[in-house]
Structure formats: structure tokens, C-alpha cells
Amino acid sequence: MFIIKCSLFKISNWLFLGHNHLRKFSSKNMTQKLIWVDCEMTGLNVDRDQLLEIALLDQFDPIHINASSQVLESMNDWCQKQFRSNGLYEECLRSKIQIEEADNLLAEFMVRNKIKQGILAGNSIATDRQFLNKYCPKFVSHLHYRMVDVSSIKVLVDMWYKDREFWNVNTPHRALGDINKSIEEIKYYKEKYFLKL
């Protein structure tokens, strides 16, 4: 049987503890922190789609990025239905924030908190990273190349523990709510599947 060990994934060093504070990556490197991020986009094609909402856990309100009705109407049916029902559609129509300003706000947060190599964390975070690389280069310049992807742990647990209780929680598909669900999920895996050393 495969056993996931805390020492392998360094869970004890980086797991988020509680909903109001980010645990430092290690006491010896105070410039590294987990940066829990979630983005909502008009789609998943970074060459064609754009960012609509960006949230950083426990820092400031989610950033809603201005989008024209033409852009929003061009989204696929799933996005149209989801973002109309959860309010994001209207918030992006009303927002005055352009993507350059959003990038500045995120970068200013990193500078203000002296985070030089933040480690991006979230669910399927590589997709968010692609959009951030393209649209928020100032923010990305403060990030480490490493990332913590909750989805990767989900895949491993699915493979190694066939009879496990399936983590199946509906996410609101709003950035801040999705971050909180990701943290709940990784805490669930830690408590249920990681050895206590």
C-alpha cells in the first residue's frame, strides 16, 4: 500500500492553519509564504479569454475586472449561466477596474508584506498561473516558480486509496469562496490520509 508521508510533501511546513492567517513557509525563509489565489475567467483558453475576478485570501476584497457586455455575452453557456446566477456578470459590468490596475494592487500587496517568492496555492492552480503570467506580470514577478496544487493531491489520493470517502463539495465559482473550499479540502486530506509524525 502506498502511504503519503508528511515529510514527502512538507505538509507540516506549509499547510494553511485557520481562516485568517497564512502560515510562513519556514522560519528560516520569511519571504516565502503560501499565496492562496483563485481566478474566474471568461473561459480556459489563455490566448482568447480574460480574467474577470481575482482573490487573495484574507488580504482585500476580491478584485472584479471590468468587462464589456460584448465580452461577457461571448462566453460559453456554462460561464453565462454560472456568472449570471452568482452575480459576477453584473459586478464585472459595473467595475471600473482595468486589468493593469488589478496587477498593480496585487503587486503592491506583495511589496507591502515583503513577500519576494510567494508560493501560489489553490485548486488547478496552473490554469490560474497561466492567466496571471499573461495579465498580471508585476504580481507574478514576486512569485516562486513552485506551486501547491490541491488538485494534484486529490489525484494521488484517488489513485492510492480506491475505497476512500470522496471529497465532493460544490464550489460557488466565486474566487474567495473557491479558495476557502480548497483549504477545507487540503485540510481534509491532511487529517485523513497523511501520517502524523
Q: Which residues belong to the active site?
A: 145
Phi, psi of 171 (to 5 degrees): -95, 150
C-alpha grid cell, residue 68: 464589456
Cα–Cα dist 61/20, whole Å: 14
Cα–Cα dist 145/33, whole Å: 13
- CA of 39: how far to CAs of 44, 56, 174, 193, in Å? 11, 9, 8, 28
Question: What is the β-pairing status of strands 118-122 and 143-149?
Answer: parallel
Specify whether the CB–CB gap between 162 and 126 falls below 8 A.
no
Q: Report the residue count for the chain.
A: 197
Residue 112 burial (C-beta neighbours within 10 Å; 0-12, 13-18, 19+)? exposed
